[in-house]
Amino acid sequence: MSVIRPFRAFRPRPELAARIASFPYDVVDSDEARELAKGNPYSFLHVGKPEIDLDPSISLYDKRVYAKGAENLNKLIRDRALIRDESPCLYLYQQTMDGHSQVGVVCACSVREYEQGLIKRHEHTRKAKEDDRTRHVTETNANAEPVFLTYRAVLDIDAVVDRVRERAPACDIITEDGVGHTVWVMSDPTETEELVELFMGVPALYIADGHHRTAAAVRHGQAARSLARNPTGDEPYEFFMAVVFPDRQLRIMDYNRVVMDLNGLSEDAFLERLAHSFRVEPATGPRPERKGEFGMYLDGKWRLLTAREGTWPADDPVRGLDASILQDNLLGPILGIRDPRSDNRIDFVGGIRGTDELEKRCRGDWKVAFTLFPTSLDQLMSVADSGRVMPPKSTWFEPKLRSGLIVRMLDE
């Protein structure tokens, strides 16, 4: 089952929603965030990336950064830029990009279900990033940014969502990147209970994006639980804010690679070694059209690589991923990149940046680029169901959730 519950959100005053909505903390770096928030005191980047309001010489992990985030959030509330709903609600959050829409239920999800493996992950997390987000949750006493979850779609849930979407939304904006963001408020207790009951029939939820935010919320909850006297299991810290989307509405984009050098090989020697595991031929375009194919940009030309039969185990949900096939047959044994998480000779470029970005990199300091066929939701769920994790940078979801449209404080 999947436990969800309504909560009393803080939401922007309608006339400020477009100014408050911001990219999540992990999508832009500090310099980009400073530029985006310049002249806009309402930008939620002041909460998600509060270092932008401090001297750039201060460490991102300095206690003053977290204190500033709490101060900035409290100011938005004190100034009534963010206003709290009077009663617990569920919310719908729709995103529209390039004519495609996806709509999820915004709710509080269970820390204990994550601990029990009913909220499933597909990535490792890094301790430093976990520590950072845990301190942010603790200092702000809030789930400031939602986690992005998915589930195998249920027609009865779709029907409730579609019914609510026929009403006038509480917020409807288009951000500067051309993406539409629309929010509906579900305040009728009978209607919210209907969705809560329907989700009880969903066997599991899956983290699509936001593994570090999830881990941070769980760590905060565990710490608060350990200090509580006579806990009931229903305390606010036992839940975290998420947007839960049905799987069939989501799109995963390609997540591509660039490598700095050929590991001491000449281009001819490199291509010769490639031929043992891949069929190499001229490409008609930069992106592969099916699983097991890869685009390769080298010396100003695109080539198509097709993995030869027997180079990966088709029945293994992890080693059968294209990211694993490329790593196990090329990046590791030929280019010497044994640990793509830590090797600075490789970088990862989300598909939203386009293949022009890969060509640009290779005209500069990088030598070779690879495009991958996008991972599917079925593959993601199969890996998570197996209790294993994907190679790093296997999925890129677009559009990104905007922060500041719905905020959950932990003082409910």
Q: Which residues of 193-208 are buried (b: 16+ CB within 10 A; e: fewer)?
A: ebbbebbeebebbbbb
In a domain, 334, yes or no: yes
Render pLDDT for 122-132 as a digit per residue (tens, 0 to 9).
998 888 899 99
* Alpha-helical runs (H) found in 149-289: 155-165, 189-199, 211-227, 267-274
> What's CA 60's distance to the chain center, in Å?
21
pLDDT exceeds cutoff 90 at 366: yes
Kindly report the average pLDDT of the chain as a whole number: 95
Whole-number percent of the chain with pLDDT over 70: 100
Portion of the chain with pLDDT greater than 90, in percent = 91
Residues 246, 268 share a domain? no
Contacts of 188 (CB under 8 A, 6+ apart): none
**Domain that includes residue 318, residue range:** 255-373
Task: Give the pLDDT confidence of 27-51 residue by residue, as tens digits.
Answer: 899 999 999 999 999 999 999 999 9
Judge if 267 and 336 occupy the same domain. yes
For residue 209, how far is the Cα from the chain centroid? 3
C-beta separation of 151 from 204 below 8 A: yes
Q: Domain count of the chain?
A: 2
* pLDDT for the residue numbered 357: 95
Residue 314 — pLDDT band, cuts 50, 70, 90?
confident
Residue 167 has pLDDT above 80, yes or no: yes
Helix axes 127-140, 63-78, angle to 10 degrees: 40
Tell me, yes or no, whether 243 lies in a domain: yes
Same domain, 83 and 225: yes
For the record, the structure tokens of 83 come out as 């206003």
Q: What is the mean pLDDT of residues 274-299?
A: 96
Q: Would 388 be classed as within a structural domain? A: no
Same-domain check for residues 19 and 143: yes
Please report whether residue 390 resides in a domain: no
The yes-or-no verdict on residue 412 having pLDDT over 80 is no
The pLDDT tens digits of the residues spanning 66-100 come to 999 999 999 999 999 999 999 999 999 999 999 99
Residue 192: half-sphere exposure toward Cβ, Cα within 13 Å = 21
Cα gap 327→321, rounded to integer Å: 10
Pairing of strands 252-253, 301-307: unpaired
